């Protein structure tokens, strides 16, 4: 079962990237987006995990990044009431569905219900390394080419002060999301273990 979900997650992410490249006529510029980068990460980690053991903290990191992609897209970028709403002509295209919805759901389901493994809570802080590095990349690149991949890191519109406030909010939110993944995963793991114990030993002795 775990191998099946890992493969499905990898295929979903890779298919979404291929369809996106086809949609944009092979524009390699799509790889500047966190969505695509996180999809590459979850695809690689899931594919490797289908072939050989991968440490839980690595799989957890990849899962968090994929969940960040889905959460930010649906709550902010695709939400008309959000101040960061972006009109996307390809919002209903297959690549969008795969990258922003299907892959994050598969990643979360695999982590929580299929491939559970205990992870220390402080890894939620360690996992922030990549999002913070991406922020630095987006700002430096934006200053050079005068174009930013997302409205919440657009220094031209928000100013660096506004970007800093935005980044602090996202950092806290991503940390809490990481803690949620770790906590829920541990809760499901323990619950499943308790249920298994009751089944194997109905008398409780």
Question: pLDDT digit string (tens) for 154-181?
Answer: 999 999 999 999 999 999 999 999 999 9
pLDDT of residue 28: 94
The first and second tokens of residue 123, run together, are 């890894």
pLDDT of residue 42: 98
Please indicate, yes or no, whether the overall pTM of this predicted structure exceeds 0.85.
yes
pLDDT of residue 3: 92
The yes-or-no verdict on residue 55 having pLDDT over 50 is: yes
Give the torsion through C-alpha atoms of 63, 64, 68, 70, to 10 deg. Answer: 20
Question: How many angstroms separate the CA atoms of 7 and 34, rounded?
Answer: 22
Average pLDDT estimate for 62-84: 97
**Residue 32, helix vs strand vs coil:** helix
- Helical spans, DSSP H, in the chain: 2-23, 34-51, 56-72, 94-97, 103-109, 123-126, 129-145, 155-200
Distances from the Cα of 74 to the Cα of 77, 82, 91, angstroms: 6, 10, 11
Average pLDDT estimate for 121-129: 97
199 or 131: whose pLDDT is higher? 131
Instruction: Please answer whether residues 68 and 129 qualify as being in contact, where contact means their C-beta atoms are separated by less than 8 angstroms.
Output: no
Question: How many angstroms separate the CA atoms of 184 and 159, rounded?
Answer: 37
Average of per-residue pLDDT values in the chain: 92
Tell me the residue length of the chain. Answer: 205
Buried residues in 104-132 as b, exposed as e (16+ CB within 10 A) = bebbbebbbeebbeebeeebbeebbebbe
């Amino acid at each position: 079962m775990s191998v099946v979900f890992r493969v499905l997650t990898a295929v979903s992410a890779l298919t979404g990237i291929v369809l996106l490249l086809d949609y944009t006529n092979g524009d390699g510029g799509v790889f500047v987006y966190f969505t695509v980068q996180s999809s590459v990460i979850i695809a690689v980690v899931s594919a490797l995990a289908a072939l050989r053991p991968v440490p839980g903290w690595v799989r957890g990191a990849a899962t968090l990044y994929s969940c960040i992609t889905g959460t930010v897209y649906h709550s902010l970028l695709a939400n008309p009431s959000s101040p960061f709403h972006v009109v996307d002509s390809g919002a209903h295209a297959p690549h969008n569905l795969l990258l922003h919805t299907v892959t994050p759901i598969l990643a979360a389901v695999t982590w929580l219900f299929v491939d559970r493994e205990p992870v220390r809570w402080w890894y939620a802080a360690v996992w922030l390394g990549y999002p913070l590095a991406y922020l630095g990349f987006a700002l430096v690149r934006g200053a050079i080419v005068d174009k930013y991949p997302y409205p919440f890191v657009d220094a031209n519109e928000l100013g660096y002060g506004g970007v800093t406030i935005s980044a602090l909010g996202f950092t806290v939110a991503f940390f809490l999301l990481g803690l949620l993944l770790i906590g829920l995963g541990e809760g499901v793991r323990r619950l499943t273990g308790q249920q298994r114990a009751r089944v194997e030993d109905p008398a409780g002795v």
